[in-house]
Amino acid sequence: MSSPLISVIIPCHNYGRFVGEAIDSVRQQTYSNWEIILVDDGSVDDTQTVVARYCAADTRIKYHYQPQQGVSAARNTGFGLASGEYLQLLDADDMLAPGKFAGQLALFAEHPGTALVYGDTYSFRELADIEAGKLAKFTLYKAPMSGAGTALALQMAYDNIFLPSSPLFKKSLLEASQGFNAGIVAFEDWEFWYKAVLTGAQFVYQSQPGTESYARAHGNNTTGNRYKMWKFKVTARDAIVNKLAEMQRSPEKTTLDLAAIKRKHQVLRYEETARFNMLYESVLSGLLDTVQYSLKGEKPFWIWYDSAYWLKERLLGRK
């Protein structure tokens, strides 16, 4: 039985206090043929010192420093240095269950032709929470699903259906997605996975105990910055819509219903720009976006309630 190499890409910026636990969770995998590519994205804390100790103890761990360029650029650097047939993203403050690699590689063997397999993610604050089983399962807006093509594209049109550390994926998916868009600093992973979906990539989901990932909740998470999240959700969606338009102009054939997928994204964009404008920018533009969504969206009446709520939040200073 072959034992393919898994490359684990860990971008790190000033997370020296967490990165050791992330590395330990890889070293504790029951599957041993892996390498870690640790990309230090301009850290000024003790990240280099912490990682140096691990590199000295385990030659599978490789350290690379670059001036700060953001998480997308750091992941792309890691991809360029990776030697593995399979890739695993792991944020420096997160962790993996010890059976993740073995269990998800077995799923690839069961589903030939699959580009990506994923499972569940649980929230934690400290390592002791994982050890004590004090975990909360992440539930995203849309349920996880296995599939490919138009059905998967429509399911993922709303948002991510998994968190960045959840999947194990083949390097061929990276080639299809052409890396992360360095200009997107939130929802960058959604845009990355979605480009793969548009190539017809097959995703397989299985809730398999022992293969989960763990996302740490703390005060510096990007998800805590609502302005950045909502702004770049629109930026990421615009990038997807532009990709769909490019595919519609291309003579290359696809089995995807590009028109239906693009319509879905355009309608959802009205809702998202209404939210962003009502909370942060032009209220008038937000009202116009609300009207557009009420004419074309799935919940034409609820959007008025939502817009009123967003405006109230703005007026109360709870943006």
pLDDT of residue 222: 61
Extract the runs of DSSP E, i.e. beta strands, from the chain: 6-12, 34-41, 61-66, 86-89, 95-96, 116-118, 121-124, 136-137, 168-170, 203-205, 213-216
pLDDT of residue 224: 64
Domain ranges of the chain: 6-224, 226-315
CB 94 within 8 A of CB 216: yes
Burial class (CB in 10 A: 0-12, 13-18, 19+), 246: exposed
Tell the residue number behind the tokens 């069961």, with chain if given. Answer: 110
pLDDT of residue 219: 65
What DSSP element (H or E) covers 245?
helix 226-249
Looking at the DSSP bridge assignments, the partners of residue 7 are 35, 87
pLDDT of residue 175: 83
CB 39 within 8 A of CB 66: yes
pLDDT bucket at 298, cuts 50 / 70 / 90: confident
State pLDDT tens for residues 224-264: 688 999 999 999 999 999 999 999 999 999 999 999 999 99
Give the mean model confidence (pLDDT) for residues 173-185. 89
State pLDDT tens for residues 66-80: 999 999 999 999 999
Give the mean model confidence (pLDDT) for residues 121-127. 90
Decide which of 68 and 300 is more confident: 68
Question: Coil, strand, or helix at residue 276?
Answer: helix
Give every strand in the sheet of 6-12, ordered side by side: 61-66, 34-41, 6-12, 86-89, 168-170, 116-118, 203-205
CATH number of 6-224, picked from 3.10.180.10, 3.90.550.10, 3.60.40.10, 2.30.40.10: 3.90.550.10
State pLDDT tens for residues 5-33: 999 999 999 999 999 999 999 999 999 99
